[in-house]
Amino acid sequence: MSLIDAFSSPNRQYGHINAVLICLSVGMLSAAWLLGVVSVAPNRIVAGTSYGLVTAIGWPGALLVSLLFVAVGGLAIKPSRLHYCAQLCIVTLTLLLMPFGLMVAGHWLIDPTLPQARLGIGAGYWVALFLLLLCLVELRLRLELSRLWTTLLLSSVGAAWLVCAALWLDNLALVQEFQARDKQFYRAMLQHVVLVSIAVSVSVVVGLILAMLMRRYQRLQRVAFALLNFLQTIPSLALFGLLLAPLAWLAANVPFLAQLGVSGIGTTPALIALIAYSLLPMVRNTYIALDEVDSNTLEAAKAMGMRPRQRFWQVRFPLALPILLEGVRITAVQAIGLTAVAALIGAGGLGTFIFQGLGQAAMDMVLLGALPILVLALIVDAGLGALADALRPGGHE
Percent of the chain residues topping a pLDDT of 70: 95
The set of residues, in sequence order, having a beta carbon less than 8 Å from that of 316 and lying 6+ positions away, is 290, 293, 298
With bands split at pLDDT 50, 70 and 90, how would you rate the model's confidence at 15? low
Between residues 346 and 352, which one has the greater pLDDT?
Answer: 352
Contact status, residue 256 vs residue 337, Cβ threshold 8 Å: no
pLDDT tens profile 58-95: 999 999 999 999 999 999 998 888 999 999 999 999 99
What is the C-alpha to C-alpha distance for residues 163 and 156, in angstroms, rounded to an integer?
11
Average pLDDT over residues 219-235: 87
Average pLDDT over residues 231-258: 83
As to burial, measured by CB atoms within 10 angstroms (0-12 exposed, 13-18 middle, 19+ buried), residue 98 is: buried
Contact status, residue 181 vs residue 34, Cβ threshold 8 Å: no
For every residue of 137-179, DSSP letters joined together read HHHHHHHT--HHHHHHHHHHHHHHHHHHHHHH-TTBHHHHHHH
Average pLDDT over residues 102-106: 93
Between residues 234 and 187, which one has the greater pLDDT?
Answer: 187
Q: What is the pLDDT of residue 301?
A: 84
Strand order in the sheet with 38-41: 49-51, 38-41, 118-121
Give the orientation angle of helix 363-391 with respect to helix 182-216, to 10 degrees: 40
What is the C-alpha to C-alpha distance for residues 183 and 189, in angstroms, rounded to an integer?
10
pLDDT tens profile 19-55: 999 999 999 999 999 999 999 988 877 778 999 999 9
Q: What is the pLDDT of residue 356?
A: 92
Q: What is the pLDDT of residue 76?
A: 92
Region of poorest pLDDT, from 9-13, 158-162, 180-184, 303-307: 9-13
With bands split at pLDDT 50, 70 and 90, how would you rate the model's confidence at 397? very low
Farthest CA pair distance, the chain: 83
Give residue 167's identity as a one-letter amino acid code.
L
Strand-pair category, 49-51 with 38-41: antiparallel
Q: Is the dihedral of CA 355, 357, 361, 363 positive or negative?
A: negative
With bands split at pLDDT 50, 70 and 90, how would you rate the model's confidence at 13? very low
Contact status, residue 211 vs residue 286, Cβ threshold 8 Å: yes
Q: What is the pLDDT of residue 394?
A: 58
Contact status, residue 236 vs residue 273, Cβ threshold 8 Å: yes
Q: Which fold has domain 182-391?
A: MetI-like fold (1.10.3720)
pTM for the full predicted model: 0.85
With bands split at pLDDT 50, 70 and 90, how would you rate the model's confidence at 193? very high
Q: What is the DSSP letter of 315?
A: I
Q: Which of 246-255, 289-298, 345-354: highest mean pLDDT?
A: 345-354
pLDDT of residue 176 exceeding 70, the answer is yes
H or E element at residue 99: helix 81-109
Write down the mean pLDDT value for the chain: 87
Which residues make up the CATH 1.10.3720.10 domain(s) of the chain?
Answer: 182-391
pLDDT of residue 261 exceeding 60, the answer is yes
